[in-house]
């Protein structure tokens, strides 16, 4: 497909974002603005010098900078502005549903109250629902480099706001922090009605994906690239209809793959895995949903049908009701059926 046409096609697809860390949507311009009003001095003296630091050779190098950036977030207004900026940005890309992660411990460990964080995020999400027609789910992630005991404290703190929280996830430094470390807190989270997902097989081995499935009982795997190392696991993912929320630009930026041409999404689609494409930390990795679709399609020569399938898979894998899924999938199909390239 001609590249200009490809861009135009992708722009118009109604899309669902299922793997997005709200702290990872923190654009440098907004970061400097909030730092200034909170009287916090960033280690970098300009937007440009900060952006120059966005060169990572692995997940940890990224996380180190990501946690520094989040330190300027102090007040409800800050979390609101961060979330609202993200929603207006993705609205311009025709994203109609978001399931977003936030990392409470990144903030509560600095003395910022859980309520401050979630009130800001929730108010922006509600405004997005009313004014931009973006439906949403909210996922609280436990930081896996911290202890399970700390995760239990976070679960406890979340209960006051459980009506606003749909699920829990597991993120941060993967290697050396297997899903098994969080078995009990995931079980307790499920008892409180939270749905379960976990990052696994991004940098960590295929065993971590098995653990996420068998010990944590997750309904989706975030990333999961490494599943290609294990044919039995692929069969399990297909049989149980477990989605993999893949993040192509993130994978290139964090050297999970060498180049986009090596991305596993096409192989996984062709095997029949419920693979989806998302943006992870768009302010750090060079793009939001459209850019992820575009760069992947270009490198792997995806067809219109592949793109249609990816868009449908994301609604299929979402936590929307069946009626809402059907409605969104129809609008994806209508869009592709009437598209004249």
Q: Which residues bind Zn ion (CB under 5 A)?
A: 280
> To which residue do tokens 């940890």 refer?
60
Query: Of ligand HPA, Zn ion, none, which one sits near residue 76, judging by CB under 5 to 8 A according to partner kind?
Result: none
**Measuring CA to CA, which residue among 118, 154, 158 is closest to residue 22?**
118
Q: CB 63 → ligand HPA: shortest distance, Å? A: 6
**202 has catalytic annotation:** yes
Query: Of Zn ion, ligand HPA, none, which one sits near residue 202, judging by CB under 5 to 8 A according to partner kind?
Result: ligand HPA
Q: CB 66 → ligand HPA: shortest distance, Å? A: 6
Q: Is 202 in the site for ligand HPA (CB under 6 A)?
A: yes
Site mask for ligand HPA (CB under 6 A), range 126-165, x = bound: ----------------------------------------
Sheet with 135-143: list strands edge to edge.
Answer: 15-21, 95-102, 135-143, 167-171, 195-200, 220-223, 243-246, 275-277
Query: Of Zn ion, ligand HPA, none, which one sits near residue 220, judging by CB under 5 to 8 A according to partner kind?
Result: none
Q: CB 121 → ligand HPA: shortest distance, Å? A: 15
d(CA 243, CA 54): 29
Q: CB 275 → ligand HPA: shortest distance, Å? A: 17
Catalytic residue from among 202, 203, 291, 295 = 202
Residue pair 163/184 in contact by the 8 Å Cβ criterion? no
Instruction: Transcribe 76-122 into DSSP letters.
Output: HHHHHHHHHHHHHHHHTTTEEEEEEEE-HHHHHTTT--HHHHHHHHH
Residues making up the chain, counted from first to last: 341
Q: Which of residues 40-59 bind ligand HPA (CB under 6 A)?
A: 59
State which residue, 86 or 336, has the beta carbon closest to Zn ion.
Answer: 86
State which residue, 27 or 281, has the beta carbon closest to ligand HPA.
Answer: 281
Residue 270 burial (CB < 10 Å; 0-12/13-18/19+)? exposed
State which residue, 66 or 319, has the beta carbon closest to ligand HPA.
Answer: 66
State which residue, 15 or 308, has the beta carbon closest to Zn ion.
Answer: 15
Q: Is 250 in the site for ligand HPA (CB under 6 A)?
A: yes
Give per-residue burial for 25-36: e unless 16+ CB within 10 Å, then b.
bbbbebbbebbe
State which residue, 59 or 139, has the beta carbon closest to ligand HPA.
Answer: 59
Sign of CA dihedral 97, 252, 66, 153: positive
Q: Is 199 in the site for ligand HPA (CB under 6 A)?
A: yes
Q: Is 171 in the site for ligand HPA (CB under 6 A)?
A: yes
Helix spans in 159-240 (H): 183-191, 206-214, 231-240
Q: Is 318 in the site for ligand HPA (CB under 6 A)?
A: no
d(CA 53, CA 305): 38
Q: Is 172 in the site for ligand HPA (CB under 6 A)?
A: yes
Residue whose beta carbon is closest to Zn ion: 280
Q: CB 250 → ligand HPA: shortest distance, Å? A: 5
Q: Which of residues 62-91 bind ligand HPA (CB under 6 A)?
A: 66
Bridge partners (DSSP) listed for residue 95: 15
d(CA 330, CA 309): 12
Q: What is the DSSP letter of 280?
A: B
d(CA 100, CA 93): 16
Query: Of Zn ion, ligand HPA, none, which one sits near residue 59, judging by CB under 5 to 8 A according to partner kind?
Result: ligand HPA
State which residue, 99 or 171, has the beta carbon closest to ligand HPA.
Answer: 171
**Residues of the shown chain interacting with ligand HPA in the complex, contacts defined by CB under 6 A:** 21, 24, 59, 66, 171-172, 199, 202, 250, 280-281
Q: Provide the annotated active-site residues.
A: 202
């Amino acid at each position: 497909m001609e590249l200009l046409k490809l861009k135009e096609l992708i722009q118009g697809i109604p899309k669902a974002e299922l793997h997005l860390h709200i702290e990872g949507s923190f654009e440098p311009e907004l970061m400097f603005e909030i730092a200034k009003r909170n009287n916090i001095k960033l280690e970098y003296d300009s937007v440009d010098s900060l952006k120059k630091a966005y060169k990572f050779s692995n997940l940890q190098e990224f996380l180190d900078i990501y946690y520094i950036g989040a330190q300027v977030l102090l007040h409800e207004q800050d979390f609101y502005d961060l979330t609202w900026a993200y929603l207006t940005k993705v609205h311009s890309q025709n994203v109609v549903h978001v399931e977003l992660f936030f990392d409470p411990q990144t903030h509560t460990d600095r003395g910022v109250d859980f309520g401050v964080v979630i009130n800001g995020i929730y108010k922006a999400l509600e405004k997005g629902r009313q004014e931009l027609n973006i439906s949403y789910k909210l996922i609280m992630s436990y930081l896996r480099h911290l202890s399970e005991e700390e995760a239990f404290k976070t679960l406890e703190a979340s209960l006051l706001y459980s009506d606003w929280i749909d699920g829990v996830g597991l993120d941060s430094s993967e290697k050396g922090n297997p899903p098994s470390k969080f078995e009990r807190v995931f079980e307790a989270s499920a008892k409180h009605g939270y749905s379960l997902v976990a990052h696994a097989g991004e940098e960590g081995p295929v065993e971590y994906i098995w653990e996420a499935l068998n010990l944590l009982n997750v309904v989706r795997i975030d990333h999961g690239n490494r599943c290609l190392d294990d044919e039995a696991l692929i069969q399990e993912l297909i049989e149980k209809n477990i989605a993999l929320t893949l993040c192509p630009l993130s994978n290139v930026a964090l050297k999970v793959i060498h180049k986009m041409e090596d991305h596993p999404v096409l192989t996984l689609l062709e095997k029949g895995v419920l693979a989806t494409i998302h943006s992870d930390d768009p302010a750090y990795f060079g793009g939001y949903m459209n850019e992820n679709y575009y760069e992947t399609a270009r490198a792997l020569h995806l067809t219109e049908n592949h793109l249609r399938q990816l868009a449908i898979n994301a609604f299929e894998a979402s936590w929307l009701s069946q009626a809402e899924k059907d409605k969104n999938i129809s609008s994806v199909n209508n869009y592709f059926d009437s598209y004249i390239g």
